[in-house]
Amino acid sequence: MNAIISATALAGELQGPRPPVLLDVRWQLGGPDRRPAYLAGHLPGAVYVDLDRELAGGPGEGGRHPLPGVEAFGAAMRAAGVDAGRPVVTYDGGQGWAAARAWWLLRWAGHPEVRVLDGGLAAWDGPLETGEVTPEPGDFIPDPGQLELLDADGAAALAASGVLLDARAAERYRGDVEPIDPVGGHIPGALSAPTTENTGEDGRLLPAAELAGRFAALGANPGKKVGVYCGSGVSGAHEVLALAVAGVDAALYVGSWSDWSADPARPVATGPQPG
């Protein structure tokens, strides 16, 4: 199944016999709670999902956005109306990172039909509704491990033997600036591949062929061992989504740089080269 869906196709499916569950995952790093924005207007029937509370564990060991507890995640998804046998579409305000985190987690936890609304809320030109949505509880039971997951050791090994992509901004990769984590730079051997370069000005992903060409130039081809990390496993999930659209399977280092850089014993490379 394709990992993304257009607004036009989604509008058609919502009128069909098997409409998808809609999850509104608007989120901003360090920003205000986005629930008020959701209440002011969201796709009809969409349920708000809080990334920090429901799509991640508490910050600390494992990074800023470690995996949530499996039971807690399953309960949150059931409360949002997620069924094992009904498709799910996630969306956010348009950047796509938070929606991709929800997509990745549900796929990792075994849901077979999850897509991201390409371009997010900004791409939707249909009606909106206001207020809270309380769906009928779903029946989804997580079966984790359906997508490959990396830890720090796995990321280091992949940087040495395969392709490890750093989805953060290039200046953070180089170590020129580091606004969040203890130290700037990147995992030695990782390649700079900012996730922002996977989208056009409208926030939609580039066509699959363009994405495939971009990743091929980095050595990330179908059948190759590929991994992705970012700051805390959010924008990296969007890069995994883009790779999926390009036909490349990739593992995600959920702890990412926030986990790697928390241990001063781990090596750090700086500058534009993998090091």
115-168 pLDDT per residue, tens = 999 999 999 999 999 999 999 999 999 999 999 999 999 999 999 999 999 999
The answer, yes or no, to whether residue 6 has pLDDT greater than 90, is yes
Res 29 pLDDT > 90: no
235-245 vs 208-217: helix axis angle to the nearest 10? 110
Count the residues in the chain.
275
Q: What is the pLDDT of residues 72-116, one digit of tens each?
A: 999 999 999 999 999 999 999 988 999 999 999 999 999 999 999
In Å, how far are 27, 36, 152 from 32, measured between CA atoms?
8, 9, 30
To the nearest whole percent, how much of the chain has pLDDT over 90? 95
pTM: 0.97
Model pLDDT, residue 268 = 98
| 44 against 275, higher pLDDT | 44
Averaged pLDDT, 47-75: 96
- How much is the average pLDDT of 240-245? 98
Cα–Cα dist 265/268, whole Å: 9
Determine the pLDDT at residue 39.
97
- Which residue's structure tokens are 């046998």? 85
Between CA 211 and CA 201 the distance in angstroms is 15
Location of structure tokens 């939707």? 124
pLDDT tier, 31 (very low <50, low <70, confident <90, very high otherwise): confident
pLDDT at 28: 86
Q: What is the DSSP code (8-state) at residue 22?
A: E
Give pLDDT, residue 258: 97
Instruction: Mean pLDDT check: name the lowest of 31-40, 220-229, 239-248.
Output: 31-40
Q: What are the two backbone dihedrals, phi and then psi, of residue 64, each rounded to the nearest 5 degrees? A: -75, -30
Q: Convert the pLDDT of each residue in 179-216 to its tens digit.
A: 999 999 999 999 999 999 999 999 999 999 999 999 99
Catalytic residue among 230, 240, 241, 243: 230
Mean pLDDT of the chain: 96
Query: What's the mean pLDDT in 241-268?
Result: 97
Band (242; pLDDT cuts 50, 70, 90): very high
pLDDT at 236 over 90: yes
Which whole number is the average pLDDT over 5-32?
Answer: 94
Looking at residue 264, what is its pLDDT?
Answer: 94
Is residue 123 within 8 Å of 8, Cβ to Cβ? no
- The candidate with the shortest Cα–Cα distance to 192, out of 177, 170, 213, is 170
Q: Is 230 a catalytic residue?
A: yes
Contact 213, 174 (CB under 8 A): no
Domains of the chain with bracketed CATH = 4-123 (3.40.250.10), 149-260 (3.40.250.10)
- Asked which of 27-31, 161-165, 218-222 is least confident by mean pLDDT, the reply is 27-31
Mean pLDDT, residues 30-34 taken together: 84
Report pLDDT for 35. Answer: 94
Contacts of 251 (CB under 8 A, 6+ apart): 147, 148, 149, 150, 154, 158, 225, 226, 227, 228, 240
Cα-based torsion angle of the residue sequence 273, 237, 119, 124 in order, rounded to the nearest 10 degrees: -170
Residue 270 has pLDDT above 90, yes or no: yes
